[in-house]
């Protein structure tokens, strides 16, 4: 992802206030808040709520959290050189393995319903919190680019008692930012990825959708990092009266109003800001999880900012073209009589794009057009569901059925 506004000269001291006024964010500046932002930039590792919040709570208070540490089965805390990663792994041990990658803001809990549906179908599922989200720690001395995300994926896979890596190791499914990560990972490890699925996936989002305010706010080398972090925190952290919603967070990536799909056939009620994350925990919504994370995870803002700057969200045609060439090779091999000579991974030479008809973040027309240019018409299959960007939560059963159908129909899955 490009670093925004690289040609703008570093401003004078008075320009920092000008930026704040222009963004409407300077009200309520406090010296203490500025000091905290400066201090956070000096830490190489910011611990997650697992250490900073959970020890202060009673068992009843922990259970009442929108995202308790045991919200999903098979949870474990994985020690790594980059801090602790929160991983969940469950389902039949002999089932085909599926790794789910979540989006830029909501932690892996957003994929809980999808994971449960896939487990019900007989798959073995793993999900984990990206660094700086949920219960994973936040390294602050590294860019949140594909190298860090690839490293985290491999660390999570290596933490399992089962063998996830190797030829045809697992199906890779990514949602939103996770979808953007799927493509370069599959390009670098094509033998390991049994199939690739992008649900409202990033990677080819067109940068013209980013406003000038966001370009300044998420730039580097123009304003002090502590000042930008302070402004972003002021912009995102909810007030006492209004919780930040996931759709509002999405406008940080794409400057288009994300609509709440009230009473739509796609979700049977309120849109995804009010969507229940886990069917067995009614009442805990996307908004409540975002509210908790923004307030309690001190590393979220730095991780979020760095991800917007460096993660594979925009203009990733180079990696998509490289993957397209690999997929073309797999399609050729699929016609070989001798199955033993086929290359492992990316069965059938096609990936699946699951899109929302009313998604204003990853727009179906743009993605299908741009994906065709880099993957070719035979390099992907697109399925459009009656939903918005929230489809992985509000339409989890439909998404799971769509993915499973794709897997069953892939040639070379014998």
The per-residue pLDDT for 333 is 79
Q: How far apart are CA 48 and CA 139, in angstroms?
A: 11
Residue 17: pLDDT above 90? Answer: no
How would you class 267 by CB atoms within 10 Å of its CB: exposed for 0-12, middle for 13-18, buried for 19 or more? buried
Arithmetic mean of pLDDT, 59-65: 93
Task: Let me know if residue 5 belongs to a domain.
Answer: no
Q: How far is CA 370 from the centre of its chain?
A: 20
* CA proximity to 316, closest of 370, 389, 372: 370
Q: Which residue has the tokens 């406008």?
A: 251
Q: What is the pTM of this model?
A: 0.86
The better pLDDT of the pair 182, 266 is held by 182
Rounded-to-10 torsion of CA 286, 234, 134, 166: 100
Domain assignment present for 4? no
- The structural domain count of the chain equals 1
Q: Assess if residue 78 is contained within a domain.
A: yes
pLDDT grade for 269, boundaries at 50, 70 and 90: very low
pLDDT in tens, 207-222: 888 887 888 888 888 8
Compute the average pLDDT of residues 40-47: 78
**Residue 386 confidence (pLDDT) above 50:** yes
Kindly state whether residue 289 falls inside one of the protein's structural domains.
Answer: yes
Q: Is residue 2 part of a domain?
A: no
The HSE-up count of residue 16 (CA atoms within 13 Å, CB side) is: 15
Residue 120, strand partner residues: none
Domain assignment of residue 394, given as a range: 13-409
CA dist 159 and 261 (Å) reads: 39
At 288, the pLDDT band (50, 70, 90 cuts) reads confident
Q: How big, in percent rounded to 5, are the helix, strand and coil portions of the chain?
A: 45, 15, 45
Asked whether residue 20 carries a pLDDT value surpassing 50, the answer given is no
Is 7 within a domain?
no
pLDDT digits (tens, 9 = 90+) for 27-43: 444 545 545 555 555 67
pLDDT confidence of residue 92: 98
Q: Are strands 85-90 and 75-78 parallel, antiparallel or unpaired?
A: antiparallel
pLDDT at 66 over 70: yes
Facing residues of 196 across strands? 172
* Number of Cβ atoms within 10 Å of the Cβ of 305: 22
- 87-141 pLDDT per residue, tens: 999 999 999 999 999 999 999 999 999 999 999 999 999 999 999 999 999 999 9
Do the Cβ atoms of 381 and 348 come closer than 8 Å?
A: no
- Report whether 397 contacts 117 (CB < 8 A): yes
pLDDT band per the 50, 70, 90 thresholds, residue 369 = very high
Report for 26-40, 166-180, 321-335, 388-402: range of highest mean pLDDT: 166-180
Whether 216 maps to a domain, the answer reads yes
Does 240 or 71 have the greater pLDDT score? 71
Determine, yes or no, domain membership for 8: no
Mean pLDDT of the chain: 84
Residue 355 backbone phi and psi in degrees, to 5 = -125, 155
pLDDT at 76 over 90: yes
Per residue in 150-163, pLDDT tens?
999 999 999 999 99
CATH number of the CATH domain containing 391:
3.40.50.1820
End-to-end CA distance of the chain: 38
């Amino acid at each position: 992802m490009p670093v925004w506004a690289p040609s703008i000269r570093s401003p004078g001291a008075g320009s920092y206030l000008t930026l704040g006024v222009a963004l409407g964010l300077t009200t309520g500046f406090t010296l203490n808040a500025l000091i905290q932002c400066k201090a956070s930039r000096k830490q190489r590792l910011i611990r997650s709520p697992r250490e900073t919040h959970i020890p202060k709570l009673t068992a009843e208070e922990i259970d009442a959290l929108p995202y308790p540490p045991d919200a999903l089965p098979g949870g474990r805390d994985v020690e790594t050189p980059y801090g602790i990663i929160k991983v969940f792994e469950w389902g039949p041990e002999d089932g085909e393995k599926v790794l789910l990658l979540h989006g830029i803001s909501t932690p892996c809990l957003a994929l809980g319903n999808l994971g449960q549906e896939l487990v019900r179908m007989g798959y073995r599922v793993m999900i984990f919190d990206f660094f700086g989200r949920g219960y994973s720690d936040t390294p602050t001395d590294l860019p949140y680019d594909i190298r860090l995300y690839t490293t985290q994926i491999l660390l999570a896979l290596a933490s399992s008692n089962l063998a996830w890596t190797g030829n045809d190791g697992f199906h890779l499914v990514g949602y939103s930012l996770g979808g953007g990560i799927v493509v370069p990972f599959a390009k670098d490890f094509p033998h390991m990825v049994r199939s690739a699925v992008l649900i409202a996936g990033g990677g080819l989002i067109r940068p013209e959708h980013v406003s000038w305010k966001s370009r300044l706010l998420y730039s580097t080398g123009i304003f002090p990092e502590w000042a930008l972090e302070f402004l972003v925190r002021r912009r995102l952290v909810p007030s006492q009266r209004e919780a930040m919603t996931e759709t509002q967070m999405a406008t940080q990536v794409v400057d288009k109003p994300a609509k709440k799909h009230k009473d739509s056939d796609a979700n049977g009620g309120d849109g995804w800001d009010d969507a229940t994350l886990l069917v067995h925990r009614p009442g805990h919504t996307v908004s409540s999880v975002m509210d908790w994370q923004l307030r309690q995870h001190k590393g979220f803002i730095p991780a979020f900012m760095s991800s917007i700057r460096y993660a594979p969200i925009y203009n990733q045609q180079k990696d998509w073209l490289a993957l397209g060439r690999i997929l073309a090779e797999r399609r050729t091999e699929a016609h070989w009589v001798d199955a033993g000579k086929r290359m492992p991974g990316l069965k059938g030479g096609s990936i699946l794009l699951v899109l929302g008809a009313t998604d204003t973040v990853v727009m179906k027309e743009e993605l299908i057009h741009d994906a065709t240019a880099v993957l070719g018409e035979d390099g992907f299959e697109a399925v459009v569901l009656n939903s918005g960007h929230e489809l992985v939560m509000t339409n989890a059963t439909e998404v799971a059925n769509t993915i499973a159908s794709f897997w069953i129909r892939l040639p070379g899955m014998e």
